[in-house]
Chains A and B, each alone.
Chain A
Amino acid sequence: MSVPEIVIALVLGIGFGFALNKAGLTQYHKIVNVFRFTDLAVLKFMMTALIVAMAGLFGLDALGLLALPVPPQTYIVGNLLGGMIFGIGMSGVGI
């Protein structure tokens, strides 16, 4: 990794952590309550981020300013099983 790449990774990480903290997702009850349907902040946060990023990403790609990155691989059984194991941990302890 070059120095500019490290600096940008650090800055974007700081922004990511800041956004998570301000959305309240660093707290146990915010994470767990989305699975109890009493506080949907996690979903609101994630879906807003998805919409904004999708619009920007595919817009910039259409203008030829950006090459779309390689998306994560799909292997349905693994993705699903992994998600199910992940869900137990996430909902159980709220991290």
Chain B
Amino acid sequence: MKKIIAYIQKDEWSPYSAGVLLGLIGIWVATAATAFRDPAIALGASGAFESIFGGLTQLVASDWVAKNVYFRAVRLPGVTWEVVMLLGVFIGGALGAISSGTWKLRWMPEKQWAEAFGKSRVTRWVLVFIGAILLEYGAGVAGGCTSGLAIWGGLQLAPAAFVFMGGMFATGILTALVVYRRRY
């Protein structure tokens, strides 16, 4: 028991044990989808941002959201399963950091980031903002992100998941080559 608690408190688990935990959660999500008969239930994250946007836009322009094909057929606006789960992800991530005693607020997170892009916080904020737009836009086009499509689709053997992962690694490797050049 002491060993288990000590392992939980470790800063970094073996990726295999963390993967087992996520796999079990994936099974639970599928069980919940069966139990609640809610087609919106999925192990996803990126769709939540779209639902939140749709829900907020409903407050000021409900006609536009009601007519919008995307919000009618692809992502439902408002508080969906993924929105609640995303909130849980923030709490869970924080709990993970608190349990290992590494919880702190930081503006400049990474040694490796500073080596690649310099120490400027402005650069970091601008780049992360642009990167996040690309992420969310790409996820919107593909129909999911690394969790909603690659993991949730992959565990159901959906071809889309593997096509997505192929595309992601193709440009991801190229981008890393550009960023790190000779230090690759």
What is the interface of chain A, defined by CB distance below 8 A to chain B?
1-2, 4-6, 8-24, 26-29, 32-36, 41-42, 44-54, 56-57, 60, 66-76, 78-95
Q: Do A81 and B91 have beta carbons less than 8 Å apart?
A: no
What is the interface of chain B, defined by CB distance below 8 A to chain A?
10, 12-13, 15-34, 36, 38-39, 41-43, 79-81, 84-97, 100, 109-113, 116, 127-128, 130-135, 137-161, 163-173, 175-176, 179-180, 184
Given known contacts A48-B15, A48-B19, A51-B23, is B143 in contact with A82 (CB within 8 Å)?
Answer: yes
Contacts of B153 in A (CB 8 A): 71-72
Contacts of B79 in A (CB 8 A): 1
Contacts of B138 in A (CB 8 A): 81-89
Given known contacts A46-B151, A49-B151, A69-B41, is B140 in contact with A82 (CB within 8 Å)?
Answer: yes
Q: Do B88 and A46 have beta carbons less than 8 Å apart?
A: no
Q: How far is the CA of A63 from the CA of B143 in the complex (A)?
A: 30
Can you add 5 more A-B contacts, CB < 8 Å, to A19-B92, A45-B19, A80-B164?
Answer: A13-B86, A15-B22, A18-B93, A29-B112, A86-B135
Min CB gap A78→B, angstroms: 6
Q: Is the interface of B mostly helix, strand, loop or mixed?
A: helix
Contacts of B27 in A (CB 8 A): 52-53, 56-57, 60
Q: How far is the CA of A67 from the CA of B31 in the complex (A)?
A: 8
Q: How far is the CA of A75 from the CA of B167 in the complex (A)?
A: 13
